[in-house]
Amino acid sequence: MNQAYLLLDAAMIDNLPYRLFKLECSTVQPLFQQTAYHALAEVSPVLVPVVPDSPLAHTFTQEWSETAGIWLESEAGGTAVLQHLRSLIHARVEGDVTVFFRYYDPRITGLWLTSLQPRVRDEVMGPIRLIVLPESVHPCRFIHQETPEQPIARYADKPWLSLSPDQLDHLSEAKRQRLVRLLIEHCQQHFPQCLQGLDLAACRRWAANCQGNAERHGYGAADEVTRWASFHAVLGENFPDAPEHAVYRQMLIEPNLSPEQRLDNLCAELQRQPLSEKERFA
């Protein structure tokens, strides 16, 4: 009989230990424990058993399932599940470099596992028989292991798991999708007129264009692109290339300033715009 577990990302959930205590979750097993990363216990993903329809299950579905963890089921005991999941916390990439692997981000989970051949996917899943993802993240929702009785991997300081350059490129799509959604939510809250009348596909195109424009000017972090979206919302999608944006273009190449200082200057200039330029978005 399958036991259900949640693999939760402590780095994405504020006060996770307290939240789990309030939800009467008594068994919490950090993956970074007994690894080279034990000093990072505060942000370690944790494995907790879960009962369907329990308060913990409902909290997970409503608050965490899209960004901060995965639901998985296994016939193996909790020790075997923990052991295998712990072995996946890091991976080797090109150049024999070791990197953290946040496979427990549901957006990464779906992209990663569904891109693998069934034989490889079964091996990677080990004792995990089923993973359930929200439809918004993975339309098929369920990832089944086709061939059970797979070996259970063990954590080692040198990862057994490797990721190719093509896999890394594919997985970076999760970051882009997350940022697109963040930009849409930001504009819907602060500049609702900007996206008014657009369907979801058009909103995503707008956000992707904004993200690409920001990256071309050296801004790729989520907080930077979110600030850049304000200029797109108020000044239009051709920012900063329109003839009337000359003052902004000059600020973007001003020497002896950090990228953050340039963004601060852009924001200050935007605030000085005449009311008539901004009242459309009030």
Percent of the chain with pLDDT over 90: 54
User: What is the arithmetic mean of pLDDT over 138-161?
Assistant: 91
Quote the CA–CA distance of 214 and 220 in Å, as a whole number: 7
Largest Cα separation within the chain, whole Å, is 68
Give residue limits of the domains in the chain. 3-163, 174-281
Say yes or no to pLDDT of 275 above 50: no
Residue 281: the pLDDT is: 42
Structure confidence at residue 74 as a pLDDT band (50, 70, 90): very high
Say yes or no to pLDDT of 189 above 60: yes
| SS3 at position 256 | coil
Count helices and strands (H / E) in the chain.
11, 8
Which two tokens mark 227?
């600030």
Higher pLDDT, 171 or 228: 228
Say yes or no to pLDDT of 193 above 90: no
